[in-house]
Chain A
Amino acid sequence: MTALTIQNLWKEYGPQVVLESVSLTIAPRAFVALVGPSGCGKTTFLRMLLGQEQPTRGTIVMDGAPLPREPGPDRGVVYQRYSVFPHLTALQNVMIGPEMRAARLAGRLWGKARKGLADDAATLLHEVGLAGAEDKFPAQLSGGMQQRLALAQTLMMRPKLLLLDEPFGALDPGIRAEIHALMRRLWHEHPMTVVMVTHDMREAFALATRVIAFDRPRQRPEERERYGATITNDIALWPPRVAGRQTIYDADIPAGDEDLSRFAIQPGPPRPDQGALR
């Protein structure tokens, strides 16, 4: 169960301040959607969580320990592009992580170990809807299938934290709805915390337990370089979405039936303007 504590994070590239005083605590098993205008530093923030970039100031603590200074198998990532290896088939793409973890010199497994891993990989491919595509190269898969493959590849490592950078941004609306359903299911079934960058508000609210907006509070041209973006909105979904549990988001509510306890939701305090919902 992975919790993240980010304290007073700054990121500067030379004179340009990209992010300033970002403080944030992310609960275990949360699904955080990060939204904000283009160029406000969302990818930069994700890179710092990944360990690919170091904060200029501030700290990131994961499960009580400072974040390692380079990427590792405890944090998975899926990008909009370049997430899978073009020279490996779908099955090989899913197997490569565990293979490299097990065989530090050859980077490959043979015999029984390989067979067992191939079975696991095929099962996961099936789970993400890629049964039958095992021997195809990524170039032979559609965009949606490539992203499913990227998710499967990452999940093989059982990451504690999954980072997504506009993973479904390039997909058609129909395909996107399908992959959203898959993403929700994977989040429910795999014990991981998710941080997803998106520019699509609907996507953010369709998937996340919490939506965080980055923006620059100072927009005048002469201020743009010296002031960075920070958290301007932090919205927890209500009624909450809970990992591994059914909530109203997963079921049609019969008309007139507003008893949420069936969905195992801890009802929150009634809001003044929404008091009817309880």
Chain B
Amino acid sequence: MRLINLTPGKGGRLLLGALPFVVLALAYLVGSALRLADNPGDKLLPSLGAMGRMIEVMAFTPDKRTGAYLLWTDTAASLFRLWSGLAIATVIALVIGLLNGVLPVMRALLAPFVAFLSMVPPLALLPVLFIVLGLGEVSKIALIVIGVAPILTRDLALTAAALPREQIVKAETLSASSWLIAWRVVLPQVMPRLIDSLRLQLGPAFLFLIAAEAISAEGGLGYRIFLVRRYLSMDIIFPYVVWITVLAVAMDLALRLLRRRLYPWAEPEGRA
């Protein structure tokens, strides 16, 4: 039988999917054990027990100085920045992207400018943001918006413009105005795609967040990682990295479920 026709069953899929995780975990355990056997004071690959103790300290013990539970306050601060940035970027993408995708006049006005903006490397603007907007929350949120909004906008405009011309004409014969075409025909059809491209932008959004927090912040996941880096505290950094990843995966999953719930007609064939 050809390899291409070999499809794993349900159990097989689960097993295969788990395999890389198991391999990674084993590799870490072995590497850590070997290094620690060599030098019990090694900080590079801490044992699971050491990491567990630090998780205990960060997540479930109040900080001596402030009385806060650091992991949770860091998470709250970071998620606030991330979600504010993504929300603002989404609103911008919806407004500009729809105008751009639906109205030829707006496309002529905006498309070249948005294409230009989307090529500005956002991290290069970070010093400018800190200088202009100060070191507070605004500059961090702004970085995420600047990094994510142009791509969301362009993607949305392309999706809107790719709708068959027939649909627009059809809507006109059903008495739609330009506004109603955007509202009832184009918007609902670009929403599933907007959610998907938001999912793809979660990675870059975290990148911008952590970059901003690393340079200046009072708290936050990225701030903590770069703070304890000075003490080579891998036993804190590793759990934080895993936690950030888990958060991102959870958001990705939530968006996917949201899309399936709100736009069942847009599911790929066979899954509707």
Q: How far is the CB of B168 from chain A (nearest CB, A)?
A: 9
Contact segment of A82-90, A225-233, A269-277:
A82-90
The answer to the question of B195 belonging to the interface, with a C-beta cut-off of 8 Å to chain A, is no
The distance in angstroms between the C-alpha atoms of A104 and B184, with both chains bound, is: 11
- Given A107-B184, A139-B265, A140-B272, CB of A82 within 8 Å of CB of B164: yes
Whether the Cβ atoms of B173 and A159 lie closer than 8 Å is yes
Main secondary structure on chain A at its contact with chain B?
loop
- Given A83-B166, A104-B177, CB of A70 within 8 Å of CB of B265: no
Chain A residue at minimal CB-CB distance from B182: A107
Whether the Cβ atoms of B266 and A87 lie closer than 8 Å is yes
B170: A residues at CB distance < 8 A: 77, 79, 82-83, 85
- Given A100-B180, A107-B183, CB of A50 within 8 Å of CB of B173: yes
A185: B residues at CB distance < 8 A: none
Chain A residue at minimal CB-CB distance from B266: A87
- Given A97-B174, A157-B173, CB of A104 within 8 Å of CB of B167: no
Q: How large is the interface on A (under 10, 10 to 19, 20 to 34, 35 or more residues)?
A: 20 to 34
Whether the Cβ atoms of A52 and B169 lie closer than 8 Å is yes
In the complex, per-residue mask of A15-55: 1 if CB is within 8 Å of any chain B CB, else 0: 00000000000000000000000000000000000101000
One of B167, B184, B266 near A100 (C-beta < 8 A)? B184
A104: B residues at CB distance < 8 A: 177, 180
Within 8 A of B (CB), among A68-99: 70-73, 75-77, 79, 81-83, 85-87, 96-97
Q: How far is the CB of B182 from chain A (nearest CB, A)?
A: 10
The answer to the question of B60 belonging to the interface, with a C-beta cut-off of 8 Å to chain A, is no
The distance in angstroms between the C-alpha atoms of A206 and B163, with both chains bound, is: 34
| Number of chain B residues close to chain A: CB under 8 A | 25
One of A50, A100, A105, A137 near B176 (C-beta < 8 A)? A100
The distance in angstroms between the C-alpha atoms of A157 and B176, with both chains bound, is: 12
The distance in angstroms between the C-alpha atoms of A72 and B188, with both chains bound, is: 22
The answer to the question of A193 belonging to the interface, with a C-beta cut-off of 8 Å to chain B, is no
- Given A81-B166, A85-B167, CB of A70 within 8 Å of CB of B189: no
The answer to the question of B185 belonging to the interface, with a C-beta cut-off of 8 Å to chain A, is yes
Whether the Cβ atoms of A72 and B175 lie closer than 8 Å is yes
The answer to the question of A154 belonging to the interface, with a C-beta cut-off of 8 Å to chain B, is yes
The answer to the question of A101 belonging to the interface, with a C-beta cut-off of 8 Å to chain B, is yes
The answer to the question of B172 belonging to the interface, with a C-beta cut-off of 8 Å to chain A, is yes
Q: How far is the CB of B122 from chain A (nearest CB, A)?
A: 33
The distance in angstroms between the C-alpha atoms of A107 and B263, with both chains bound, is: 19
Chain A residue at minimal CB-CB distance from B176: A100
The distance in angstroms between the C-alpha atoms of A198 and B62, with both chains bound, is: 78
Q: How far is the CB of A190 from chain B (nearest CB, A)?
A: 15
A72: B residues at CB distance < 8 A: 172-173, 175
Within 8 A of A (CB), among B163-217: 164, 166-167, 169-177, 179-180, 183-185, 188-189
Chain B residue at minimal CB-CB distance from A136: B265
B176: A residues at CB distance < 8 A: 100, 107
The distance in angstroms between the C-alpha atoms of A157 and B171, with both chains bound, is: 11
Residue among B167, B176, B264, B269 having the largest count of chain A Cβ atoms under 10 Å: B176
The distance in angstroms between the C-alpha atoms of A232 and B269, with both chains bound, is: 45
B189: A residues at CB distance < 8 A: 85-87
Q: How far is the CB of A1 from chain B (nearest CB, A)?
A: 20
B183: A residues at CB distance < 8 A: 107
Within 8 A of A (CB), among B141-176: 164, 166-167, 169-176
Q: How far is the CB of B196 from chain A (nearest CB, A)?
A: 15
Whether the Cβ atoms of A73 and B164 lie closer than 8 Å is no
The answer to the question of A153 belonging to the interface, with a C-beta cut-off of 8 Å to chain B, is yes
In the complex, per-residue mask of A162-192: 1 if CB is within 8 Å of any chain B CB, else 0: 0000000000000000000000000000000
Within 8 A of B (CB), among A185-238: none
Whether the Cβ atoms of B169 and A77 lie closer than 8 Å is yes
Whether the Cβ atoms of A87 and B167 lie closer than 8 Å is no
Chain B residue at minimal CB-CB distance from A105: B179
The distance in angstroms between the C-alpha atoms of A140 and B266, with both chains bound, is: 12
Whether the Cβ atoms of B169 and A101 lie closer than 8 Å is no
Whether the Cβ atoms of B173 and A82 lie closer than 8 Å is no
Whether the Cβ atoms of B175 and A85 lie closer than 8 Å is no
Whether the Cβ atoms of A100 and B173 lie closer than 8 Å is no
Q: How far is the CB of A87 from chain B (nearest CB, A)?
A: 5
Q: How far is the CB of A194 from chain B (nearest CB, A)?
A: 14
Return 8 A-B CB contacts under 8 Å, by A number.
Answer: A71-B173, A72-B175, A81-B164, A82-B164, A100-B174, A105-B179, A107-B184, A139-B265
A sample of 10 more A-B contacts (CB under 8 A), given A71-B169, A76-B173, A83-B170, is A52-B169, A70-B172, A75-B173, A79-B166, A96-B184, A100-B177, A100-B184, A107-B184, A139-B269, A153-B174
